[in-house]
Amino acid sequence: MKVEITDKDEKGVSCDALILPVFDDEREPYREIDKELGRSIRGVVSSGEFKAKHLDTCIIHTMGRIRPERLLLMGLGGRRDCTDHRIRECGGKAASVSMEHGLKVLALSTGTLRRHGLSPVPFAEGVGLGGYRFTKYKEAGGGTEIEMLSILSAEERGLSESIEFVRRSTETVGLVRDLVNTPSNDLTPSGLAGFAEGLGSRRLKVKTLDSRDAAREGMGGFLSVSKGSKEEPRFVLLEYRGGRRGPVVLIGKSVTFDSGGISLKPSEGMEKMKYDMAGGAAVLGVMKFVSEMRLPLHLYGILPATENLPGGSAAKPGDVVRTVSGKTVEIISTDAEGRLTLADAIGYSRRFNPEAIIDIATLTGACSVALGNEAIAMMGNDKELMAMMQKASELSGERVWQMPLYDEYREYLKSDIADLKNSAGRTGSLVTAGYFLKEFAAGTPWVHLDIASTAWSDKDRPCVPKGASGAGVRLLINFLKEYIK
Ligand code: BES
Ligand code: MN
Ligand code: ZN
pLDDT of residue 141: 61
> For residue 452, is it within any domain?
yes
Q: How far is the CA of 451 from the centre of ligand 3 (A)?
A: 11
Tell me: do 134 and 208 sit in the same domain.
no
Q: Which of 90, 118, 150 is the last residue of a domain?
A: 150
Ligand 1, CB within 6 Å, residue ranges: 258, 276, 333, 335-338, 362-366, 423, 429, 452
User: Domain with 83 in it: what CATH number?
Assistant: 3.40.220.10
pLDDT of residue 408: 98
Q: Which ligand 1 atom sits nearest the alpha carbon of residue 338?
A: 11
Tell me: do 9 and 89 sit in the same domain.
yes
Question: How far is residue 433's CA from residue 208's CA, in Å, rounded to a whole number?
Answer: 27
Q: Is 339 labeled as catalytic in the residue annotation? A: yes
Question: How far is residue 296's CA from residue 59's CA, in Å, rounded to a whole number?
Answer: 45
Tell me: do 195 and 122 sit in the same domain.
no
Mark 416-435 as b/e (b = at least 16 C-beta within 10 Å): eebbbbbbbeeebbbbbbbb
Number of domain units in the chain? 2
Helix (H, G, I), strand (E, B) or coil at 146: coil
CA distances from 157 to 10, 134, 153, 168 (A): 22, 35, 12, 19
Tell me: do 137 and 190 sit in the same domain.
no
> For residue 165, is it within any domain?
no
Tell me: do 133 and 185 sit in the same domain.
no
Tell me: do 305 and 237 sit in the same domain.
yes
Nearest ligand to residue 452 Cα: 1
Residue with CA closest to ligand 1 atom 22: 365
DSSP 113-136: HHHTT--SHHHHHHHHHHT----T
Q: How far is the CA of 338 from the centre of ligand 2 (A)?
A: 6
Q: What is the DSSP letter of 232?
A: P
Q: Which tens digits make up the pLDDT trace of 404-458?
A: 999 999 999 999 999 999 999 999 999 999 999 999 999 999 999 999 999 999 9
Burial class, 316, CB count within 10 angstroms (exposed 0-12 / middle 13-18 / buried 19+)? middle
Question: How far is residue 321's CA from residue 315's CA, in Å, rounded to a whole number?
Answer: 9
- Identify which of 14, 30, 12 has the alpha carbon closest to the alpha carbon of residue 74: 30
Q: Which of 11, 39, 67, 265 is catalytic?
A: 265
Tell me: do 206 and 83 sit in the same domain.
no
> For residue 167, is it within any domain?
no
Tell me: do 146 and 176 sit in the same domain.
no
pLDDT of residue 403: 98
Q: Which of 150, 180, 212 is the last residue of a domain?
A: 150
Q: Which of 150, 185, 219 is the last residue of a domain?
A: 150
Nearest ligand to residue 270 Cα: 1
Tell me: do 86 and 218 sit in the same domain.
no
pLDDT of residue 224: 98
State in Å, rounded, how far the first CA of the chain is from the last one: 30
pLDDT of residue 156: 84
Residue with CA closest to ligand 1 atom 16: 336
State which of 364, 412, 457 you would mutate to test the pocket of ligand 1, scoring each by most atoms of that ligand within 8 A of its C-beta.
364
> For residue 166, is it within any domain?
no
Could you tell me the residue range of the domain that residue 103 belongs to? 2-150
> For residue 99, is it within any domain?
yes
Tell me: do 365 and 399 sit in the same domain.
yes
pLDDT of residue 143: 64
CA distances from 135 to 142, 180, 393 (A): 8, 13, 30
Tell me: do 107 and 179 sit in the same domain.
no
Which parts of the chain have pLDDT scores under 70?
A: 141-143
Residue 385 φ/ψ, nearest 5 degrees: -60, -40
User: Domain with 347 in it: what CATH number?
Assistant: 3.40.630.10
Tell me: do 216 and 120 sit in the same domain.
no
> For residue 380, is it within any domain?
yes
Q: Is 265 labeled as catalytic in the residue annotation? A: yes
> For residue 354, is it within any domain?
yes
> For residue 217, is it within any domain?
yes
Q: How far is the CA of 370 from the centre of ligand 1 (A)?
A: 13
